[in-house]
Amino acid sequence: MSVRVLTNTPIRTFTWKQGNSAHAEPEKTETAPARGKGNSAPPLLVPVAKKDEAPVAQIVTADGIRLPMDIGTRVQCRWRDGSLYPVRVIERRPAGDTKGVPIPEEYEYYVHYEQFNRRLDTWVTIVEMDVKSAEQDDTKKRKAEEHDEEHAEFDPNALREHEEVTKVRNILKVELGRHEMDTWYFSPFPPEYTTCKKLFFCEFTLNFFKRKEQLQRHLRKTEMYHPPGDEIYRNTSRGKTAAFFEIDGKKDKMFCQNLCYLAKLFLDHKTLYYDVDLFLFYVLCEVDERGYHIVGYFSKEKCSEEGYNLACILSLPAYQRKGYGKMLISFSYELSKKEGKVGTPERPLSDLGLVSYRGYWTRELLAILKDPTKNVMSIKDLSELTMIKTEDIISTLQHLNLLAYQKGAYVICAADELIENHLKAAGSAGVVVDPAKLIWTPYNAEKEYANFKG
């Protein structure tokens, strides 16, 4: 993962309006023209069948290796640390501007390092490869050997189709505010943006541009220094001020669609919803004198029949390992407590998602079991106190070996020393959410429908 902080970003300051609201709107110290239109609404994108590659001239090296190498070839390739690792060629292209027939030795290859995650796939040349080790891939043998633990819960056929469509990253870098981030995965941006290696995002409106000059013109016009929607939470902790905005996908469709485009660059198996009307988005921001800076977000269905309290979650790479991911999970359950509804994240969970959630569930459940003032008699009691689904409680306690099944009922077996050890292994709670700072009214579908009819 590569994140760079840009030091030449212009600084704009604002001051707070005086008023009774705890979450007053910021007032800029400078005036600006009216906001521009930004990006147009994106069309519904359908994967286009790949055109057959034009015939290319091939040569055979002294070692009997054909160049350019075929897609599917396995070869040893040099990694950043200088060591050689096995890779598989996923795609190839002529290097640079070629006139006439491409030169076989000057092809670039998009490779997957078989021991690493897909987000580390990259373009290389034969200079980084041990060409002598090249061998044609046996597709049947590879499928038999493949065992992807990270996506074990996903349907294998859907997984293969997804990886075929998204196998090559189209956008390599994004600039968002003061941060330049290397992307991890493919995202289906509108066709006119797919040839760009780097996109420039406005960190307040999430409009994106091909060139830095376009972004700068947009920033001179924009009057927004925070996401749209309603600010429902703000608190200062560890010297940082964090704020949450609730954004209705129906009311602020363009912002939410652009947020999905951005998120897909860092999420592998996220389904990109163009019909964002059915979702609420909760955007986490860091607040300073320059405005509100997007840290991450989670989304949830307005009305989930399965009781899901979270559909998708992301912490941007520039803000990872700072406790914000744990804060997003914790905040989703604080909303569930406010609603009085038991919640659970949408399935399937990736292995990393399961680790994050299991850490949260462990800390919440064991903190209650450890507290002698809490009169916990059953799994149902734990669920009512935490709004964690009973199935998640059972699986977590079983994972910790704190649950036994005796005479047709579950029995919690939790010694104080064992609880302390598990709490220590679960790690810190990250940035803590203060429920007293949450000013929020749950979504009312009946009221929305009445407004629609009226």
Which residues are known to be catalytic?
346
Rounded Cα distance, 153 and 139, in Å: 22
Record the tokens describing residue 279, joined without a space.
Answer: 């979702």
435's tokens: 């429920």
Long-range residue pairs from 206-214, CB within 8 A, at least 24 positions apart, any chain: 206/255, 206/258, 206/259, 206/262, 206/294, 207/38, 207/39, 207/258, 208/39, 208/174, 208/258, 208/261, 208/262, 212/175
Instruction: Give backbone dihedrals phi and psi of 157, rounded to 5 degrees, phi first.
Output: -65, -45
Measure CA 164 to chain center: 20
Q: Are strands 179-182 and 66-67 parallel, antiparallel or unpaired?
A: unpaired
Contact 196, 6 (CB under 8 A): no
Length of the chain: 454
- Quick one: CA torsion of 150, 152, 157, 160, rounded to 10 degrees? 10
Q: Provide the 3-class DSSP secondary structure of residue 56.
A: coil
* Letter string b/e over residues 432-446, b meaning 16 or more CB atoms within 10 A of that residue's CB: ebeeebbeeeebeee
